[in-house]
């Protein structure tokens, strides 16, 4: 969309540019492209707000697990077979590619996260320019970077990476619906579906955005008077392309004789999980409330679109449908963990962009509230996570205390940060290394094995060190059967040799009785 005939010509969304953006224009006069200035600003914003977490191996237990699996894959381990989880294989392959960089593996995945954040914010900015001026569009990208940590997705969580692919696909859809009788629509749609297929192999809930984007593109074909036969054929082609990466993964596991393990982990086990009841509804309530600045900004911005151009209204409708699809994906599985909100933040940030551009003093508070709340909430949550999980120095001290009692046997982390599996390079006493799989009741029926039987088997192997959380701390959805079994085994066969602080918790380390 040209600036003269599109969004920027519309008075309703064309206030004076922000002062910082005028500074960017000065840099452009010396030959620095605008996109490079914008990217540098996003990367700097990421670096400043996350700097105190760089190199910390215990930012979030999910990231610890992805990194651990990736490194074990380099040694030949196969997900679902040697290390069990239900995440798509694409996520582990992505982390494996990052840890292949010739730097510390923690910094490697954090570098990848920084690149993903920067690129996603750039795409958000580009899409937001369809409904808002450049300064406000850039701020929409900044809101995304600032707000993601508020939902525990500030560094290397899965949405950080698949959001980029989904944003690129959304950009393609917005561009596609603007072009009538476009001969390249079939190929554009094919590329969009391949991007979504790759994103699905990082997180399966992307299928909701994929379905929405496919229907939007088919509606463009319908408006172009495609025959029903052609609509059906192209729809099936796009669906096949979206499923191609998943089909390839299944085919590989079938080739090695492990199709059943792949299918259970990826598609069946999630439906076997128990509900955690009121806790999930409390999480949902908090998350909806935390998005209040978005609701206010979007409501205020939407009232102006009756006076905008046809192309702007079309783009706005596409972005709104994207937000609805992302919302359905978030709500679909009922667990509502905070980082599940992350895909929704992209279309919400774009829809809020016009509110970030208000020139009237009485209207500026919408944008200021959104930006200010994003910055404060994001930094607060990251600080809380740092306090909860611990510092790099604390981790190194606990790692040394574990290593001193390792004598060629295995480490077993029943409760605690699982990064120690990676840093001690221990043998694995179980395939279910993610602690929650064996120590919570919600996972008990959903891991393909009886947790009590597995814990009993682990104890029979006499691990060199067992890690448990101290008794003073509140337990998260505890599996009381496996916990009682562990405590009985420790009393009978082990002695506690250390009490170690890590974050706001104390961990007890046990070694076998001599």
Cα 133 from Cα 7, distance rounded (Å): 7
Cα 314 from Cα 379, distance rounded (Å): 35
pTM of the full structure: 0.92
Question: According to the model, what pLDDT value does residue 15 have?
Answer: 39
User: What contacts 26, CB < 8 A, 6 or more positions away?
Assistant: none
pLDDT tens profile 69-94: 999 999 999 999 999 999 999 999 99
CA atoms within 13 A on the CB side of 391: 5
The residue with greater pLDDT, 460 or 357, is: 460
Question: According to the model, what pLDDT value does residue 20 have?
Answer: 44
Helix (H, G, I), strand (E, B) or coil at 33: coil
pLDDT band at 277 (very low <50, low <70, confident <90, very high): confident
Collect contacts of 111-116 with beta carbons under 8 A, ≥24 apart: 112/156, 112/161, 113/155, 113/156, 113/160, 113/161, 114/43, 114/46, 114/47, 114/50, 116/160, 116/161, 116/163, 116/164
Domains of the chain, by residue range, sit at 34-179+282-385, 392-512
pLDDT tens profile 314-329: 999 999 999 999 999 9
- Helix crossing, 292-302 with 342-351: angle to 10°? 30
Flag whether pLDDT at 10 surpasses 70: no
Cα 422 from Cα 154, distance rounded (Å): 22
- Token pair, residue 139, equals 């701020």
Cβ distance 117 to 149 under 8 Å? no
Helix (H, G, I), strand (E, B) or coil at 497: strand
The residue with greater pLDDT, 332 or 437, is: 437
Class of residue 244 by CB neighbours under 10 A (exposed 0-12, middle 13-18, buried 19+)? middle
Cβ distance 259 to 89 under 8 Å? no
Flag whether pLDDT at 184 surpasses 60: yes
pLDDT band at 5 (very low <50, low <70, confident <90, very high): very low
- Quickly count: other Cβ atoms within 10 Å of residue 226's Cβ: 17
- Token pair, residue 59, equals 């930012």
Cβ distance 287 to 107 under 8 Å? no
Cα 474 from Cα 451, distance rounded (Å): 21
Residue 497 has φ and ψ, to the nearest 5°, of -115, -5
Question: According to the model, what pLDDT value does residue 34 have?
Answer: 87
DSSP lists the bridge partners of residue 496 as: 510
Cα 117 from Cα 154, distance rounded (Å): 9
pLDDT tens profile 352-393: 999 887 656 556 677 788 999 999 999 999 999 999 999 999
Give the distance, in angstroms, between the CA of residue 20 and the centroid of all CA atoms in the same chain.
30
End-to-end CA distance of the chain: 75
Cα torsion angle, 75, 76, 77, 78, sign: positive
Cα Rg of the chain (Å, integer) = 25
pLDDT band at 462 (very low <50, low <70, confident <90, very high): very high
Cα 354 from Cα 347, distance rounded (Å): 13
Q: Cα-Cα-Cα-Cα dihedral of 93, 123, 148, 199, to 10°?
A: -30
Q: What is the mean pLDDT of residues 91-108?
A: 97
Cα 293 from Cα 377, distance rounded (Å): 11
Cα 62 from Cα 362, distance rounded (Å): 43
Nearest to 147 by CA among 342, 357, 364, 288: 342
Strands of 465-469's sheet in order across: 411-413, 465-469, 505-512, 494-502
Flag whether pLDDT at 417 surpasses 80: yes
Nearest to 125 by CA among 42, 69, 65, 221: 42
Cβ distance 171 to 216 under 8 Å? no
Cα 212 from Cα 323, distance rounded (Å): 10
User: What contacts 268, CB < 8 A, 6 or more positions away?
Assistant: none
pLDDT tens profile 281-291: 999 999 999 99
Cα 320 from Cα 257, distance rounded (Å): 44
pLDDT above 70 covers a percentage of the chain that reads: 91
Question: According to the model, what pLDDT value does residue 476 have?
Answer: 86
Give the distance, in angstroms, between the CA of residue 491 and the centroid of all CA atoms in the same chain.
40
- Token pair, residue 311, equals 């192309």
Cα 114 from Cα 43, distance rounded (Å): 7
Entry field: residues in the chain = 514
Give the distance, in angstroms, between the CA of residue 183 and the centroid of all CA atoms in the same chain.
35
């Amino acid at each position: 969309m040209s600036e003269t005939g599109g969004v920027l010509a519309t008075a309703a969304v064309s206030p004076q540019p922000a002062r910082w953006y005028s500074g960017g224009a000065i840099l452009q006069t010396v030959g620095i492209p605008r996109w490079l200035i914008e990217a540098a600003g996003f990367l700097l914003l990421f670096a400043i707000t996350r700097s105190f977490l760089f190199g910390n191996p215990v930012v979030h237990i999910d990231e610890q697990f992805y990194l651990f699996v990736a490194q074990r894959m380099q040694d030949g381990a196969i997900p679902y077979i040697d290390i069990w989880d239900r995440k798509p294989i694409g996520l582990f392959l992505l982390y494996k590619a990052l840890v292949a960089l010739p730097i510390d593996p923690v910094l490697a995945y954090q570098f990848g996260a920084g690149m993903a954040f920067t690129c996603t914010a750039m795409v958000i900015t580009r899409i937001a320019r369809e409904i808002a001026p450049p300064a406000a569009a850039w701020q929409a990208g900044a809101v995304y970077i600032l707000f993601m940590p508020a939902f525990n997705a500030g560094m290397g969580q899965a949405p950080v990476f698949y959001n980029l692919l989904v944003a690129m696909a959304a950009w393609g859809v917005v561009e596609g619906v603007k072009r009538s009788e476009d001969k390249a629509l079939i190929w554009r749609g094919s590329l969009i579906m391949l991007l979504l297929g790759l994103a699905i192999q990082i997180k399966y809930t992307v299928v909701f955005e994929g379905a929405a984007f496919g229907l939007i593109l088919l509606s463009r074909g319908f408006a172009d008077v495609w025959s029903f036969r052609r609509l059906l054929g192209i729809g099936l082609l796009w669906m096949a392309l979206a499923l191609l990466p998943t089909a390839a993964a299944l085919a590989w596991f079938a080739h090695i004789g492990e199709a059943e393990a792949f299918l259970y982990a990826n598609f069946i086990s999630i439906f076997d999980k128990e509900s955690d009841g009121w806790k999930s509804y409390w999480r949902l309530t908090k998350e909806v409330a935390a998005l209040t600045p978005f609701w206010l900004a979007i409501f205020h911005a939407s009232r102006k679109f009756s006076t905008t151009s046809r192309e702007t209204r079309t783009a706005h409708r596409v972005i709104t449908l994207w937000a609805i699809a992302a919302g359905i994906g978030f709500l679909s599985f009922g667990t509502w963990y905070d980082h599940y909100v992350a895909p929704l933040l992209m279309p919400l940030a774009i829809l809020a962009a016009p509110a970030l551009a208000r020139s009237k003093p009485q209207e500026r508070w919408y944008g200021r509230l959104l930006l200010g709340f994003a910055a404060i909430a994001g930094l607060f949550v990251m600080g809380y996570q740092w306090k909860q999980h611990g510092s790099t120095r604390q981790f190194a001290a606990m790692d040394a205390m574990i290593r001193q009692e390792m004598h060629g046997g295995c480490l077993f982390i029943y409760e605690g940060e699982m990064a120690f599996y990676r840093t001690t390079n221990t043998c694995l006493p179980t395939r279910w290394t993610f602690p929650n799989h064996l120590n919570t009741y919600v996972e008990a029926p959903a891991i393909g094995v009886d947790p009590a039987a597995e814990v009993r088997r682990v104890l029979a192997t006499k691990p060199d060190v067992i890690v448990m959380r101290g008794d003073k701390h509140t337990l998260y959805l505890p599996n009381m059967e496996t916990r009682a079994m562990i405590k009985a085994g420790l009393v009978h066969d082990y002695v506690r040799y250390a009490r170690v602080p890590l974050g706001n918790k104390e961990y007890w380390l046990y070694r076998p009785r001599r």
